[in-house]
Structure 1
Amino acid sequence: MTVIGLRVKSNSRIYCCILEELPDGSLNYIDITHLKIPLALNWPEALNFVRNTILDILLQYEIKKAIIRICEFGITFNSTIIERVYIEGVLQETIASSNVEKYKAGQIAEFTSLLGIKRDEFKKYAQAELDYENIPTEINWDKLSLEERETILTANAALNL
């Protein structure tokens, strides 16, 4: 079974981790990457680009489960945050209209139970204060970006949907 974890960083970048659970229970990290939304596109075209690209990824890897880690609103609320929310909405709609069997969009607290960890532990893993054990040794947890670590955790949570 193949799953995806998604996290929108800004109005121009979406991070994702594609993870496959093999029949023996081991994990194959197919890809840990990001999608860069072309700045030359006007906003409706950019959202269409996101939708079409994510649909292609879902089909290509036959994704069965997905989690989108949505933003946690603080005191800063500006146009970049609004555009990020639009992208998260497009991701939700795209996944809902695809062949993905189970999906969830939520803040950290909404899916940490799927990982079997506490909310504050998620932040420690994401900030590389703790090493996450469910990754191959060739992936250096400390060298990954915050967003890459979050998408790895999110994809692992998607396995348990």
Structure 2
Amino acid sequence: MAEICQVKFWFMGEVRRFEAVAGSADLSALRRSPSKIPSATDCALILCTNEASINWCFGGIMRTIGIRVAPSAVTFAVYDAAAQAVVNVEQIVIPAAFETPDALKYIRSNLLDVLREYKVTRAGIRATEPSAQNPSIPRIEIEGVLKEAFASSDLEAFYVGHISSIASRLGIDRAALKPMIDGESDPGIENWDRMNKEQREAVLCAKGAVNA
């Protein structure tokens, strides 16, 4: 009996799932679930493997964002899942004259603009570790505002992750993640050695957001 595998496509801002006969490149072999699927003219050649699931960027670009918050700035990285490349790494600096309410509003507004500009579909926030001895209140406040902003946005999904959570989404051991963050090992990202710690955390968080 032919093996059936689950195939998940990213198509025009929607995740659509199909079942296909393993090894088949015949579109007629697809069983539609749900019924709304791309027309044959929209479809590329589909080769189903024996993998339990396939993540594919189909008919559009799947972009994610990773956020690393500091008390006076937010570092973000935009990641293109199809190209497996970092699109941009940038920092939003809070004006020194802003009081807390204005600072939170400033960060929220700017990050939502970034989501729209890059057509981001998934996001991740590198959260303060619960074991931190001297947690930063401003950082925690900003993280809370970003959670609310993402929850009320058009994002398909987002996560708030500590080191262990990010490592799990990347499919690596927690022990392997710290050397990457410290720049001691390179995950294959261009200019990795030129990034600072916050930028590396944002990039890894963005890569993890593919599995948010």
TM-score, normalised on structure 1?
Answer: 0.88
Task: Give the match for residue 21 of structure 1.
Answer: 81
Higher helix share: 1
Structure of greater Rg: 2
Q: How many residues align?
A: 150
Q: How does 1:8-157 map to 2 (within 5 A)?
A: 8=69, 10-22=70-82, 26-72=83-129, 73-77=131-135, 81-133=136-188, 135=189, 139-157=190-208
Q: Which runs of 5+ in 1 are unaligned?
A: none
| Structure 2 gap segments, 5+ residues each | 1-61
In the TM superposition, what whole-angstrom CA distance separates every residue of 1:50-100 from its partner, at most 9, and x where no partner exists? 1111111111111110000011142224xxx01110000011111111011
Return the alpha-carbon distance in structure 2 between the equivalents of residues 21 and 143 of structure 1.
22
In the other structure, the counterpart of 1:6 is 67
Q: 1:21: how far off? A: 2.2
Q: Which has the higher contact order (CA 8 A, sep 6+)?
A: 1
Percent of aligned pairs with the same amino acid: 36
Higher strand share: 2
- In structure 2, C-alpha distance between the alignment counterparts of 1:76 and 1:160, rounded to whole Å: 30
Structure 1 residues 75, 28: CA separation in 2 closer, same or farther (over 3 Å shift)? Answer: closer
Aligned mates of 1:120, 1:37 — CA distance in 2:
33
Runs of 4+ in 1 over 4 A off after TM superposition: none
Q: Which amino acid aligns with 2:75?
A: Y
Between the aligned partners of 2:157 and 2:134, the Cα distance in structure 1 is: 32
CA distance in 1, matches of 2:211, 2:205: 10
Partners in 1 of 2:191 and 2:110 — Cα distance?
28
Does the 8 Å CA contact 2:166/2:204 hold for their aligned counterparts? no
RMSD: 1.2
Which residue type is aligned with residue 63 of structure 2?
T
